[in-house]
Amino acid sequence: MSWASYRIEHRDSNGFFVLDYLSPKDLEASMGDDEGYRRFFYSLYRCQPDEANDFNRRRFLIAEKYPALVIDVGDYFILTGQAACEILSTHYYSLSIIDDYDQKTKDYYWGRYESVLSYHQRAQSLPVPINLTEGQLGTDSDIGALIHEAVLCGMLQVKKSD
């Protein structure tokens, strides 16, 4: 597992339990089928790649704009380089201005927006530029933020134990 993957193991009288967290980067690297792709896609964008929505339409337009930066994955694709930067930065920027979010959440998404731009710029400024993928650009290493994001998106439910 990478720096952005976590495992919690617990053993008690009821048995052995494991909770694994895989970052978008790890989900992207380990996808082997369409279901794996959908898990990866949802981890970044909180929607499915087949949904008819403005975000997915924008993502297809970016893929058409940068065909050399598209990696085909079965019926789907992953964006790299400038294409990945454009879709992720637009996604995080949009989330940072949603009126329904509190200021802390907006600030979190603004920070993600800035980090995507920064990571992309650094990768492109190397002597041999690197085209980072959506998963590489979209992975956050802050475990506190990851938990907040998971709770916010309903991916993790916090309940008081009895």
**Does any domain span residue 121?**
yes
Q: Is the pLDDT of residue 13 over 60?
A: yes
Average pLDDT, the chain: 82
Do residues 136 and 25 lie in contact, with contact meaning Cβ atoms separated by under 8 Å? Answer: yes
Residues spanned by the domain of 138: 6-152
**Does any domain span residue 132?**
yes
How many domains, the chain? 1
**Does any domain span residue 161?**
no
**Does any domain span residue 160?**
no
pLDDT at residue 1 in the model: 39
pLDDT in tens, 65-98: 999 999 999 889 999 999 999 999 999 999 999 9
- Pairs from 15-22 (Cβ < 8 Å, separation ≥ 24): 21/146
Percent residues over pLDDT 70 in the chain: 72
**Does any domain span residue 107?**
yes
**Does any domain span residue 95?**
yes
Count of other CB atoms within 10 angstroms of residue 137: 27
Do residues 87 and 37 lie in contact, with contact meaning Cβ atoms separated by under 8 Å? Answer: no
Total-model pTM: 0.78
Do residues 109 and 92 lie in contact, with contact meaning Cβ atoms separated by under 8 Å? Answer: yes
Do residues 26 and 5 lie in contact, with contact meaning Cβ atoms separated by under 8 Å? Answer: yes
pLDDT in tens, 36-50: 888 889 888 889 999
**Does any domain span residue 1?**
no
